[in-house]
Amino acid sequence: MRGAKIMKFFFQSSIEWPEIDVQKVFNFIITYGLRIIYALIILFVGRKLIKWLIKRINKHLDKSHVDTSLKTFLAPLINITLNILLVLSLIGMFGIEVTSFVAILGAISLSVGLAFQGSLANFAGGVLILVLKPFRVGDFIETSAYSGTVKEIHIFYTILTTVDNRKVIIPNANLSNASLINHSSYPYRRLEMKFSFTMDNDINKVKSVIEQIINEQDFVLKEPAPSIFFSDMNQKRINISVYVWVNNQDMLKVQDELMFKFKEAFDREGLILA
């Protein structure tokens, strides 16, 4: 009963209802309904094309033997960029000014950028590392604070493993803006060893024994040739520097073996270290 009274009140009241232009409503529904349908079709097709393109790019990068770290960075970046362009295209279909939207997006990006300056610096550093390749995964590098083998290169940071098996995470901004030593850049390295002998040793014998030990080792490279220098001398001792070239990956092993063989030879020949 109460519902009937309410309906009767509305129909008998003096409220004037606005006239609805059915044709305009119909045109509005048709126009924007079609736009929504077109937008959904474009979104579906666009997403499919983007996925296909990303797969093609990944295959091309694989065939080009591009660094893995660069590949993992480029594909997501291209994917994000293409999706943003797709969204902007859809927005333009509904009559929204894309230029105004881009300006607003730029202002937001600027504000976010100011708030995350450190992260952006690390991002830029990561891009420089991946593009210029001052080092790669597997290289042994040395910075002002750390040294170790590069295990992973990410967009914002790089992971090292030290010789005592510690994990070091370094922001890319630090690596791209500071000096570092890459011990793995070249196929061979020079190994330097220094010895101090007392003055009563026969200098010719010392040099002959060192040369003999070096020439007996297959892991010592013939080119560049080894070198033996008398680097310093005083009233108590004679200092000798020995330089040999070895394969990069054999550096520590060769140093250990040579030092062991030199010690054996010096003891056998009666040469006295200072």
Dihedrals phi, psi of 32, to nearest 5 degrees: -75, -25
pLDDT in the model for residue 190: 92
CA-based torsion, 94, 100, 104, 105: positive or negative: positive
Contact 210, 262 (CB under 8 A): yes
Do 270 and 197 form a contact (C-beta atoms < 8 A)? no
Q: Give the contacts of 123 (CB within 8 A, at least 6 positions apart).
A: 155, 156, 172
Give the fold, CATH level 3, of 188-269.
Alpha-Beta Plaits (3.30.70)
- Contact in structure between 271 and 231 (CB atoms under 8 Å): no
pTM exceeds 0.75: no
In the predicted model, what is the mean pLDDT of residues 156-173? 91
Output the CA–CA distances (angstroms, integers) from residue 120 to 116, 123, 128, in the order listed. 6, 5, 12
Give the pLDDT confidence of 218-274 residue by residue, as tens digits.
889 988 899 998 888 887 888 999 999 999 888 888 889 999 999 999 999 888 888
Question: What ranges do the domains of the chain cover?
Answer: 27-115, 132-182, 188-269
State the Cα–Cα distance between residues 267 and 243, nearest whole angstrom.
21
pLDDT tens for 31-45 read 667 777 877 888 888
CATH of domain 27-115: 1.10.287.1260
Compute the mean pLDDT over every residue in the chain, rounded to the nearest whole number: 80
Q: Report pLDDT for 242.
A: 93
Q: What is the separation, in whole angstroms, between the first and last Cα of the chain?
A: 118
Q: Give the residue, 94 or 108, on which the prediction is more confident.
A: 94
Instruction: Return the CATH number of the domain spanning residue range 132-182.
Output: 2.30.30.60
Q: What is the pLDDT of residue 251?
A: 86
- Going by C-alpha positions, the residue among 131, 170, 166 that lies closest to residue 152 is 170
Residue 195 pLDDT greater than 70, yes or no? yes
CA angle 239, 244, 249 (to 5 degrees): 130
Q: In this predicted structure, what is the pLDDT of residue 31?
A: 65
The residues near 19 (Cβ < 8 Å, ≥ 6 apart) are: none
CA angle 82, 86, 90 (to 5 degrees): 170
Q: Looking at the DSSP assignment, which residues form a beta bridge with residue 232?
A: 239
pLDDT band at 96 (very low <50, low <70, confident <90, very high): low
Average pLDDT on 13-29 reads 58
Query: Which of 16-30, 33-47, 87-101, 158-172 is most confident?
Result: 158-172
Rounded CA separation 256/216 (Å): 15
Counting Cα atoms < 13 Å in the Cβ hemisphere of 8 gives 5
